[in-house]
Structure 1
Amino acid sequence: MSITVGKLFGNGTVLYQMKLLAGQKGLNNLVEWVHIIENDEVSQFLHGNEVVFTSGILNNNEGWLLEYAKKLYSAGTSAFVVNIGPYTKLITEDVVKYCNEVKMPLYTIPWETRMVDVTRDICYSIMQKEQVEISIATTIKNIIFKTGDLETQVLQMERYGYLRDSNFCFIVMSFDNENDENKQVNMNKIKMYSERIARSIHELYISFSYNEYWVLGLVNYSNYDINNFVDTFFKNWGQYLWAVHMGISENKDGIKIQDENFNKALIAIKMAKKQDKEVIFYDKLDIYKLLLNSKDEDVLKKYYDDILGNLEKYDKENDTDLMDFLYIYLKNNGSQSLMAEQQYIHRNTVNNQLKKIEKITGHNPLNLDEKLRFYLGFYIKDIM
């Protein structure tokens, strides 16, 4: 829940005589920190999502500031501020045009305004915002994990504008590139990227890490807004080299019951990773809801072994594919004629394979009740 450029500099005109020259469409860019950089090799100083100040001491040619702006944008800068004075007397039109194109806010401050005073105030605002963010995240986690007095936690959330009857939808994210060296960097990329999209849709959201996951709690977003968030996330995520999986809870009202809702997001992310899908909504899990909410995984494992265990073992020992054959047969509504047509085999061959399956498993795949048992076995296999 980092602070946006627009909010950070909301009083800049009065306090620092700031002027916004370009990049108005980037005022929702999120800011993590601020730097004063006079060196044009900016990439070595920046991690992304920073505000950069410069007086242009190295401004020794006409095109310097434009090249500087391009380097800032490439480094992921959220906004930059030029101290107008003896080194940079004016901002040329090509710089203004470029900043508008890339949606990077460009401000100016007069020479009389000391950059160190402005950056000190910005740092204070960022740290204040960070403390609020930590407090909100801690409070919602206390509610989810039932730590402390519930009513006290709810009142704390209401002080921050999150009302007790608000709608919450949790999006749990996991990423494939999870080696220790890049984990924190990747987590931060997901944080800033997802928060930027959330902020562009609605004001209220909560973000925090949980185990190896990044969690975004969308508050009072409509179902349309949630789908919009997901579509926008994956539409533009291709610029990164690693995959992200999402599990999405229901969109439920009532802050006191969000522990159950959060667990639904965890169930959904488990299935998204298991099935290697970008996103799974808990609402669309159908029968998987029942299986994944089972408190005794041993019961599910025993059921699977009783129904399909012998068939899976037979395939491995004899290099056959009867499991696949049975699954395709079930997907064809147990129709032998459709199975024969789809697999380009004689109907008698289908019948012989089904008899073999019955002999191995002890269950008749022609019987309606047994078909249901087989199907349930395959559903369990998906979550094991």
Structure 2
Amino acid sequence: MAVRFWELYEETKEQFRLKIAAGKAGMDTVVSWVHMLEDETIVSRFHGEELAITTGMKADQPGWLLKLVQEMAKDECAGIIINTGMYLQGIPQEVLDWCEIHNFPLLEMPWEMSITELIQAYCMRIIDQKQFEKKIGNAFREVIQGRYAQEDIRQVLGEKYDIEGNFQVFCISVKKTIGDELDYNQAIIKLENLFGLWKGNDKINASYGLIRMEDFLVLILNNRKDKQHMELPRLIMQSFSHFAKEKCFHLGIGPGINHIENLSFSYKRARTAMKMSIGTGKEMIHFDEMGFFKILFSIDDTNLLTSYANEILGPLEEYDEAHGSSYVSTLKSYIKNDRSLMRVAEETFTHRNTVNYRIQNIKRILGCDLSDMDELFPYQVAFYIRDMNKKSI
């Protein structure tokens, strides 16, 4: 939803007599802010996706402009507008060639056009877009919380999205510190850039929304196609690669739904998948592939789950603590290996007769024969819960 360079260009090209000199293919990038730039040293202070405007005051220094655009591209800036006619009569061919090869947008604006007015126009456009995004975000929050019926919400979202089309929700969790905030914001911008390029390459009409919740990010895709369903998770992970490398990125993918009134359905399931992703340490989980864990991770009252596991496994744990045995782990292996004494013996490096002896004692302690899946199921669920709790710490 962020403002892209080509949008700013199309809206103001006649007013400021702008001309694309090179790098047109890179103009689908997000513009986060606009700066006047006459000294290349301040580029290192940029946060990413800034657009710069220069008169080229230092253009008399050989290679200055080429070095400037190279540094800007290295720091992932959005592009540059050069105000020609005073200090710089024309843009050096080597600069044009480099920008064209590297898809770095370079626009030219005549000297008589006001840089101040252009910066004001662009910054106001970015601020207005941020206000609009906030409005969209608030409306989406209402919808995913089940309050779609309000007319004003339908009207706001209907301006940008096909509310009768299909939707899918992705929940992104990043465990970050205060010091990671800049990297986090840059990752979000990268996602918007990659999404924009992906959208442009496929020439589709899909729309998307990004919502910042308290401790995670929600991506909503409207009118996705099958190819996008396969590509988007990869793009998300690519955008947050810094956090993925640190093992602190987790993605939950909800099922596709029709009509925006069902959006809360996909959101709740995407959030459930995200919780499992965090709990298991996996980078990405699809809700539709969660199996029985759909139920466990959908329960918000984790204390209830813990209490159930303690109640089921309590007698064995008390026995292990009193006698120094390992009956709890033996039972877990017994269930895992489909009650095969031989496989339990192999897994635990224990003689088969010893395993049989332990299982008989376990049955006596629990007062249960463990003879079929109906009797084993409560203990299997208890172990699932314990695994969830361990991996969530």
Which residue pairs with 2:232 in the alignment?
Answer: 229
CA 323–111 in structure 1, closer or farther in 2 if over 3 Å, else same? farther
After the TM superposition, which of the residue ranges 233-242 and 33-42 deviates more from structure 2?
233-242
CA 81–314 in structure 1, closer or farther in 2 if over 3 Å, else same? farther
| In 2: Cα distance, 1:381 partner to 1:289 partner | 16
Equivalent AA in structure 1 for residue 95 of structure 2: V
SS in 2 for 1:9: helix
What displacement does 1:230 show?
Answer: 1.0
CA 290–88 in structure 1, closer or farther in 2 if over 3 Å, else same? same
After the TM superposition, which of the residue ranges 247-256 and 112-121 deviates more from structure 2?
112-121
Contact 1:307 1:363 in 2 (8 A): no
| In 2: Cα distance, 1:88 partner to 1:318 partner | 87
SS in 2 for 1:30: coil
Which residue pairs with 1:190 in the alignment?
Answer: 187
Matched, 1:214 2:211: no
What displacement does 1:379 show?
Answer: 2.1
What displacement does 1:261 show?
Answer: 2.5
| In 2: Cα distance, 1:237 partner to 1:187 partner | 8
Which residue pairs with 1:201 in the alignment?
Answer: 198
Matched, 1:5 2:5: yes
Contact 1:24 1:100 in 2 (8 A): yes
SS in 1 for 2:291: coil
Equivalent AA in structure 1 for residue 219 of structure 2: L
| In 1: Cα distance, 2:274 partner to 2:196 partner | 23
CA 319–63 in structure 1, closer or farther in 2 if over 3 Å, else same? farther
CA 176–156 in structure 1, closer or farther in 2 if over 3 Å, else same? closer
What displacement does 1:313 show?
Answer: 5.4
Question: Once the two structures are superposed, what CA deviation does each residue of 1:242-277 show, in whole Å capped at 9, x if it has no partner?
Answer: 431112221111212222322222222211111111
What displacement does 1:299 show?
Answer: 4.5
What displacement does 1:16 show?
Answer: 2.3
SS in 2 for 1:71: helix
| In 2: Cα distance, 1:273 partner to 1:186 partner | 20
What displacement does 1:239 show?
Answer: 4.4
Contact 2:190 2:239 in 1 (8 A): no
SS in 2 for 1:157: helix
Matched, 1:114 2:111: no
SS in 1 for 2:53: strand
Which residue pairs with 1:98 in the alignment?
Answer: 98
Query: Could you say what the CA RMSD is over the residues aligned between the two structures, in angstroms?
Result: 2.7
Question: Once the two structures are superposed, what CA deviation does each residue of 1:101-154 show, in whole Å capped at 9, x if it has no partner?
Answer: 443211122222222222222122222222221111111112223558523311
CA 287–91 in structure 1, closer or farther in 2 if over 3 Å, else same? same
**Among residues 276, 283, 289, which one is paired with 2:288 in the alignment?**
283
Matched, 1:370 2:375: yes
After the TM superposition, which of the residue ranges 244-253 and 321-330 deviates more from structure 2?
321-330
Question: Once the two structures are superposed, what CA deviation does each residue of 1:181-236 show, in whole Å capped at 9, x if it has no partner?
Answer: 33543442232122223323344111121111121111111354133111123246
Matched ranges for 1:291-306 at <5 A: 291-294=296-299, 297=302, 299-306=304-311
Matched ranges for 1:237-316 at <5 A: 237-239=240-242, 242=246, 243-294=248-299, 297=302, 299-312=304-317
| In 2: Cα distance, 1:313 partner to 1:69 partner | 69
Equivalent AA in structure 1 for residue 190 of structure 2: Y
Equivalent AA in structure 1 for residue 215 of structure 2: E
Equivalent AA in structure 2 for residue 258 of structure 1: L
Question: Once the two structures are superposed, what CA deviation does each residue of 1:19-61 show, in whole Å capped at 9, x if it has no partner?
Answer: 2233233222111111111111123542211111111112232
Contact 1:139 1:157 in 2 (8 A): yes
Contact 2:169 2:266 in 1 (8 A): yes
Which residue pairs with 2:141 in the alignment?
Answer: 141
TM-score for both structures, normalised by structure 1? 0.88
SS in 1 for 2:212: strand
Contact 2:275 2:297 in 1 (8 A): no
CA 296–47 in structure 1, closer or farther in 2 if over 3 Å, else same? closer
Equivalent AA in structure 2 for residue 5 of structure 1: F
What displacement does 1:90 show?
Answer: 2.8
Contact 1:36 1:52 in 2 (8 A): yes
CA 319–119 in structure 1, closer or farther in 2 if over 3 Å, else same? farther
The gaps in structure 1 that reach 5 residues or longer are none
| In 2: Cα distance, 1:7 partner to 1:381 partner | 52
| In 2: Cα distance, 1:344 partner to 1:47 partner | 56
| In 2: Cα distance, 1:191 partner to 1:85 partner | 38
CA 102–352 in structure 1, closer or farther in 2 if over 3 Å, else same? farther
| In 2: Cα distance, 1:114 partner to 1:219 partner | 40
Which residue pairs with 1:163 in the alignment?
Answer: 162
Equivalent AA in structure 1 for residue 269 of structure 2: K
What displacement does 1:340 show?
Answer: 3.3
The gaps in structure 2 that reach 5 residues or longer are 200-205
CA 316–98 in structure 1, closer or farther in 2 if over 3 Å, else same? farther
SS in 1 for 2:15: helix
Which residue pairs with 1:14 in the alignment?
Answer: 14
CA 312–251 in structure 1, closer or farther in 2 if over 3 Å, else same? farther
